A and B are shown apart, each in its own frame.
Chain A
Amino acid sequence: MQLGARGAGGPAIKTKGTENHVAGEGQNSMTSTEIDIFEFSQRGEEVPHAPAYRVRIDGEVFRIDTPTPKGELLLGKVGKRPCAFELIEEFVHGKNDVVEQEEEVDLRKRGLKGFITAHKEIVTIFINGDPYKIERGNRTVAEILGKVNETPEGYVLLEEKGGQPPMPLPPDRPVKIHGCEVFHTQPQSGGSS
């Protein structure tokens, strides 16, 4: 379809910025290309259906192919994971809402201008494959082992990072927790002889 023109006998077409909106009756008209939700929010207009949406996350613009993406998908666009970061909807009038990772966001919501991310204070770490909540920052090995009811006297804490296999951590040094860390435990079995 030729955009930005009026076809003979066809529907009225108007072009606004980057989006091309087929002006139809009601709110279920479909644009022929991706539309920028930020621009619609600034104009206070209803966001129409479209094959794709341009969405700002932390100031970067991404193409989203569904009007109802999950929070985790949007976080992933900026290389972040829900075990360490939260996604926050930003509206034109200053209202902000946290979006849970499994929550579906309606990109057509009036006034939604985009998203920002924030580092969580209580993050998720993984120990022996299971998720556990813990405060971000320096934590002791004992605190981490305590999540699985183990102690440094009985168990070694191993950390898996950078795609490398689990390596033992010194029990007397703090472990910097950012979120999403992967730990394993192994019974203590060695000592100087």
Chain B
Amino acid sequence: MTFGRLVWKDLLRNPLRLALTVLAGAVGVMAFIFLRTVVDLFYSSAESAQADRLFTRAKASITADLPLSYLPRISTVPGVDDITFYGFFGGRYGESQRDFFGSAFVDPPSFMRVFDELVVAPQQVAAFEADPCGALIGKDLAKRYGWKPGSRVTLKGTIYPGEWTFNVRGIYDVRTGTLDTNSLFFPFRCLNEKLPDERKDRVGAFMIRVEDPSRSAAVSSAVDAMFANSPYPTRTESERAATLGFISMLSAIITAVQVVATVILLIILLVIGNTLAMSVRERTRDLSTLRAMGFKRGRVMMLVLFESLAIGLASGGLGVLIAPPLVRGFVAVVGSQMGGLPADFMRESTLVLGALAAVGVSLLAGIIPALRAVRIPVAEGLRKVA
């Protein structure tokens, strides 16, 4: 029998206990991955924000408007390659919370140019640009309500009172980026014409594409400087900065989730540590026998650490396998309660992190039992009854 075989047989000493420990570890890894994914979800929008887009809105308040007349003026700022605008419409579809989805007015041609991550069939683009009250809807939204080109959608206005009907002209998907596939976009014209004079020609924000992303800061300052002394000063920042700013308002929740993820690792540590402690207690006599025969301390410690490593690998592997369906399940459950959420979303790096955490925690859990196993004097260890 080789050392390797000894190690393997030793591991299988108590298969039930081993299985339960691996299972508990796997559950922990799964929960850890799940929570990290939730955090990733928050940050994903920032990370995939386009580097070459800037976001200009009213400095005073997030709900304040800007005059449409700013658009040609912003175009003259050096470094500005293209520009579009949009405004949050806030229409309601059904009665309950679940039926809420985002709706906004846009200028179709420039919108399609600046938001080039949108993927829409060309004939649908043409139809959208041609119909004054046409609508472009996200693919998840279309799936949820079964809408297709030709469907008519009526929204109840909240910010702009009344009932507003749109004709679905196209369905979009996104390649990457900050837009979700649960929104509805329609041309500004459709809304603007029907507004009273004092509310006309006001938009929510401008999206600017810059020629050179490294000059974003300079262009932003230039735009803001242009309107600094006007009645409606602006605040321009890169899309990424804007999203990160938004996320920071949720920082408390994000921190809480991260804390809980750490707590899980602690729980796994405790469960595995418990098992290893029991295991070492049982094996004291056997391990002392090995030492009596001449095995050095280091080798004996390796026996214990090997057990913890095996548990870590098995837990990590199992956890990584179970996590993706679990996350999908959660998104489905939450989505049914609270309106759409971004679909499928698990990062490989998170899975790897989970597996590494499992191995790391297991090894950590094994250190103290391993040390205790070799600390006891050989003669005493030989006398121990399990």
- Chains A and B belong together in one complex: no
Residues of chain B at the chain A interface (Cβ within 8 Å): none
Residues of chain A at the chain B interface (Cβ within 8 Å): none
